[in-house]
């Protein structure tokens, strides 16, 4: 469908599509670059046509839809000034300045106008213009934001797109050939304020968000997922389950309640058992470390603005934003031989980073967090085996937690980095080789490596299809050398070890937030802070209920006793909201028969003997084997 053609004559994409019989082409890829069908193709170019089922099609359609949105605004409110309208995840937005304050009451009117523009099927044409002529054009149109954008471009020519004589915009494209090619399956989602160019001293604009899909089914599914995501908001679930809260006096930090801390420790204990079995030793390093060590490690130069600082006795101390330098200090104690390697040193390290207040979001983006961190000190020859070993561990943990698949991104050297190109070449080569030999496919995440080395990023997909980057593995040749860590090699000479930085969950706080949203609060019983509740229909059965409660408690279950003089329907409803996995109900018949009626989250019930019920609940609440 997307055949690659070698061109010898310079013709337009429209002509080439017609010759090749590709009637459904909406754009094309020329020598790896997405382009309009209107451009003329260079000689010997490789051409791939884009139809609606191509991975790039949705972004191009949404890009055109943002222009259609801007056109509709201009036609409804001619004095409006347009600025920028990029594609974003799941949709697009356009920033405008308008005397009319747009509200949700206007959404239907704007959507109607957009459909009129799509139905009119205006031809979309691309043209280039000198910078000075483009400035003059947009000055004539009284579009000051466009004028400013063009003035700041370091180019001699700019690209414009016209919808016949109805609308013109500054854009590099690509776009659809006609407005009628755009999908009518769109919805305006919200309007918000946004400063021009993100500068609080500049104009406040109105940002109109929208989503667009090729089919009604895709749009409906997206809107359904949004509703589900709102229901699954981990902050709301945490309130319902009484897990934690956050408050202004400690921004970005979590106040764990007893139930939340129980869940936290259940997760931590499971990870601890996994890493102990996998050959890790556990350590703990100080929270505050003198500036001198951060300078020696390179973090002071690269990460200072994100570090919290304290002063004492004329010394500057930093609250650690990461655990790595501390781990190296432990490695340096005593002489190490090649026979000691690899050393797998784990730490549930509590870190603090000065994230912008506007970026903080529940447990997902915090300032204070605990990493399931570890540092593997090894020889270069051991990178392969340790990468494979880590990938097996990570796969098991994710599967046990309900994530059967994950994707991998390979993040290579960033612009701001330390170390020579030779070190980076070696690091990237070894990590890519190890990843391939571990049997993992990966995509390239250009320029997103750590400042000291390349890394793998492991991305989970939850039940709503949302992606969460969690685990990491980073290869570091530099930090051990900077901090003077070495081992005696087989040849009797001193060598610096390679340091593999790795985490499976990333941070416990964020991962608990992900779990709450993934399971809509109904986490596996072994993680649940309360695994079962013993609830009586009336207080006549309190004695039997206390006996059952004691039996459950003595058998290691996290159990609560509900003897409140409330209707059983009220009690059940409350425990459903609190996401209790199993409710053991006791009435007259249960007491008479020495039974329990177990109610499950799906509303089903069964009556078992007290002994059978205990066995069933215990089995259901067992954590995964390691």
pLDDT tens figures, 23-52: 999 999 999 899 999 999 887 889 999 999
Does the pLDDT value for residue 271 go beyond 70? yes
Peptide bond into 11 cis (omega under 30): no
Tell me the average pLDDT across 494-519.
Answer: 96
* Mean pLDDT of all residues belonging to the chain: 94
Buried b (16+ CB within 10 A) or exposed e, 492-513: eeebbbbbbbbbbbbbbbbbbb
Instruction: Dump strand ranges (E) for 368-431.
Output: 368-378, 406-411
pLDDT tens, position by position, 322-342: 999 999 999 999 999 999 999
Tell me the average pLDDT across 167-194.
Answer: 95
pLDDT of 147 reads 96
pLDDT of 165 reads 92
Does the pLDDT value for residue 3 go beyond 50? no
Instruction: Give the integer Cα–Cα distance in Å for 351 and 376.
Output: 19
Does the pLDDT value for residue 197 go beyond 80? yes
pLDDT of 445 reads 87
Instruction: Give the integer Cα–Cα distance in Å for 496 and 122.
Output: 65
pLDDT of 438 reads 85
Q: Residue 421, class by beta-carbon neighbours within 10 Å (0-12 exposed, 13-18 middle, 19+ buried)?
A: exposed
Instruction: Give the integer Cα–Cα distance in Å for 416 and 458.
Output: 23
pLDDT of 529 reads 97
Percent with pLDDT over 70 in the chain: 99
Three-state DSSP class for residue 411: strand
- Find how far residue 31's CA is from the centre of its chain: 31
Instruction: Give the integer Cα–Cα distance in Å for 469 and 462.
Output: 11
pLDDT of 414 reads 87
Fold of 532-620: Rossmann fold (3.40.50)
One fold for 57-229 and 262-285+320-513: no
CB 461 within 8 A of CB 403: yes
Instruction: Dump strand ranges (E) for 504-580.
Output: 532-536, 559-562
Does the pLDDT value for residue 6 go beyond 50? no
Does the pLDDT value for residue 426 go beyond 90? no
**pLDDT confidence bin for 252, thresholds 50/70/90:** very high
Percent with pLDDT over 90 in the chain: 85
Q: How many helices (H) and strands (E) does the chain have?
A: 19, 32
Tell me the average pLDDT across 571-578.
Answer: 95
Token pair belonging to 539: 């207080």
pLDDT tens, position by position, 283-304: 999 999 999 999 999 999 888 9
Instruction: Give the integer Cα–Cα distance in Å for 496 and 417.
Output: 20
Q: Residue 119 carries which DSSP code?
A: H
Does the pLDDT value for residue 220 go beyond 60? yes
Fold of 57-229: 3.30.980
**pLDDT confidence bin for 449, thresholds 50/70/90:** confident
Does the pLDDT value for residue 406 go beyond 50? yes
pLDDT tens, position by position, 458-470: 999 999 889 999 9
Does the pLDDT value for residue 446 go beyond 70? yes
pLDDT of 1 reads 36
Instruction: Give the integer Cα–Cα distance in Å for 600 and 596.
Output: 13
Does the pLDDT value for residue 554 go beyond 70? yes
Does the pLDDT value for residue 9 go beyond 60? no
Does the pLDDT value for residue 626 go beyond 90? no
Instruction: Dump strand ranges (E) for 199-329.
Output: 204-213, 244-245, 255-256, 280-282, 288-290, 308-312, 315-319
Instruction: Give the integer Cα–Cα distance in Å for 239 and 578.
Output: 9
Buried b (16+ CB within 10 A) or exposed e, 526-564: bbbbbbbbbbbbeeebeebbeebbebbeeeebbbbbbbe
CATH superfamily of 262-285+320-513: Bira Bifunctional Protein; Domain 2 (3.30.930.10)
pLDDT of 302 reads 85
Give domain limits for the chain.
5-50, 57-229, 262-285+320-513, 532-620
Alpha helices in 34-130 (DSSP H): 57-76, 107-120
Instruction: Give the integer Cα–Cα distance in Å for 285 and 271.
Output: 19
pLDDT of 358 reads 85
The span from the first CA to the last CA of the chain, in angstroms, equals: 47
Q: Which residues are catalytic?
A: 324, 353, 371, 373, 375, 455, 501
Does the pLDDT value for residue 146 go beyond 70? yes
Does the pLDDT value for residue 256 go beyond 70? yes
Q: What are phi and psi of 95, to 5 degrees?
A: -95, 130
**pLDDT confidence bin for 2, thresholds 50/70/90:** very low
Residue 603's DSSP bridge partners are none
Q: What are phi and psi of 399, to 5 degrees?
A: -65, -45
**Of the candidates 492, 483, 611, 589, which has an alpha carbon nearest to the alpha carbon of residue 536?**
589
pLDDT of 451 reads 81
Q: Cα dihedral sign for 345, 350, 353, 356?
A: positive
Does the pLDDT value for residue 362 go beyond 60? yes
Instruction: Classify strands 5-6 and 46-50 as parallel, antiparallel or unpaired.
Output: antiparallel
């Amino acid at each position: 469908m997307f055949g690659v053609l070698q061109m010898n004559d310079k013709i337009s994409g429209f002509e080439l599509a017609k010759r090749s019989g590709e009637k459904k082409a909406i754009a094309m890829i020329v020598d790896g670059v997405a382009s309009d069908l209107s451009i003329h193709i260079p000689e010997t170019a490789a051409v791939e046509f884009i139809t609606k089922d191509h991975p790039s099609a949705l972004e191009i359609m949404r890009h055109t839809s943002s222009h259609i949105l801007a056109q509709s605004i201009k036609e409804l409110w001619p004095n409006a000034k347009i600025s920028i309208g990029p594609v974003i995840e799941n949709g697009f937005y356009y920033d405008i300045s308008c005397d009319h304050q747009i509200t949700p009451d206007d959404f239907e009117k704007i959507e109607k106008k957009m459909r009129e523009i799509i139905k009119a099927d205006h031809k979309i044409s691309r043209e280039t213009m000198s910078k000075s002529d483009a400035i003059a054009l947009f000055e004539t149109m009284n579009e000051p934001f466009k004028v400013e954008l063009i003035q700041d471009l370091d180019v001699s020519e700019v690209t414009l797109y016209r919808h016949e004589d109805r609308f013109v915009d500054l854009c590099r494209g690509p776009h659809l050939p006609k407005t009628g090619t755009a999908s009518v399956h769109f919805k305006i989602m919200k309007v918000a304020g946004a400063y021009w160019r993100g500068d609080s001293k500049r104009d406040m604009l109105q940002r109109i968000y929208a989503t667009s899909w090729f089919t009604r089914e895709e749009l409906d599914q997206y809107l359904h997922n949004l509703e589900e995501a709102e229901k699954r908001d981990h902050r709301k679930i945490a309130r319902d389950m009484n897990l934690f809260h956050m408050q202004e006096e400690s921004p970005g930090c979590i106040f764990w309640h007893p139930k939340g801390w129980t869940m936290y420790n259940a997760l931590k204990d499971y990870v601890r058992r996994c890493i102990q079995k996998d050959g890790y030793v556990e350590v703990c390093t100080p929270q505050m470390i003198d500036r001198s060590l951060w300078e020696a490690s390179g973090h002071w130069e690269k990460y200072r603005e994100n570090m919290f600082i304290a002063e004492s006795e004329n010394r500057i101390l930093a609250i650690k934003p990461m655990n790595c330098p501390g781990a190296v200090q432990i490695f340096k104690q005593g002489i190490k031989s090649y026979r000691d390697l690899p050393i797998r040193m784990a730490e549930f390290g509590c870190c603090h980073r000065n994230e912008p207040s506007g970026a903080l979001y529940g447990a997902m983006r915090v300032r204070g967090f605990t990493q399931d961190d570890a540092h593997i000190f090894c020889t270069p020859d051991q990178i392969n085996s340790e990468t494979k070993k880590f990938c097996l561990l990570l796969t098991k943990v994710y599967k046990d937690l309900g994530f059967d698949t994950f994707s991998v991104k390979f993040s290579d050297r960033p612009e701001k980095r330390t170390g020579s190109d030779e070190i980076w070449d070696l690091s990237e080569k070894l990590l890519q080789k190890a990843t391939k030999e571990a049997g993992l496919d990966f995509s390239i995440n250009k320029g997103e490596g750590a400042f000291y080395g390349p890394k793998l990023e492991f991305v989970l997909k939850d039940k709503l299809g949302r992606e969460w980057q969690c685990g990491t593995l980073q290869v570091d040749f530099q930090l051990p050398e900077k901090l003077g860590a070495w081992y005696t090699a087989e040849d009797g000479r001193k060598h610096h070890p390679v340091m593999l930085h790795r985490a499976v969950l990333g941070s416990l706080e964020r991962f608990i937030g992900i779990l709450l949203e993934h399971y809509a609060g109904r986490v596996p019983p072994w993680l649940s802070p309360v695994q079962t509740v013993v609830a009586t229909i009336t207080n006549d059965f309190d004695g039997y209920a206390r006996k059952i409660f004691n039996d459950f408690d003595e058998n290691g279950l996290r159990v609560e006793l509900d003897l409140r003089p409330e209707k059983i329907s009220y009690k059940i409803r409350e425990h459903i909201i609190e996401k209790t996995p199993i409710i053991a109900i006791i009435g007259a018949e249960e007491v008479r028969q020495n039974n329990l009626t177990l109610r499950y989250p799906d509303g089903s019930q069964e009556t078992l003997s007290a002994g059978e019920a205990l066995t069933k609940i215990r089995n259901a609440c067992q954590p995964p084997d390691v």
